[in-house]
Homo-oligomer: A and B are copies of this chain.
Amino acid sequence: MRLSAKGEYGVRAMVYLALNYRSGPIPLSKIALGENISQQFLEQIFAALRREGLIYSARGIKGGYTLAYPPEKICVGDIIRALEGPITPVNCLSEGKEEADRCTRADICLTRNVWERLRDHINYLLDNISLQDMIEGKFDEFIVNK
């Protein structure tokens, strides 16, 4: 149940961009330095974020990256899914989406419901924390009730 470095770094970098929203494009070198992340590795991460439309890039001198949306419109879930694919605790949930290649045990499997619930919980939580929330440090309290 761990995030990859890609996901972890990606979120940190996006927060960095959020802090500098409307300051023009931020070059990767600055982010890498500020967040203590390998610049070449960050390049890969930003390539993915760009492919997913979460950031814009500007080339050339005075170029860099900017958020594609205001910080309150981008959530942690978006970032992680862009970098790691669907957030799910077990494979047979995400794969079985098409009913065709559904896990053969799905009907008898007593654990499936648990993983589905866990998956939904995690996604819900991460989809309700925006970059803006993180910057302000005081996002809404989520309470889990029975």
Contact = CB atoms under 8 A, between A and B. Distances in A.
Interface of A: 1-3, 8, 11-12, 15, 36, 76, 80, 84, 87-91, 105, 109-111, 113-115, 117-118, 121-122, 124-126, 128-129, 134-135, 137, 139-146
Contacts of A122: 1, 118, 121-122
Contacts of A80: 1
Contacts of A139: 113
A78 to B, nearest CB: 13
A31 to B, nearest CB: 14
A117 B144 contact: no
7 contacts: A1-B88, A8-B90, A110-B134, A114-B134, A121-B121, A125-B144, A144-B144
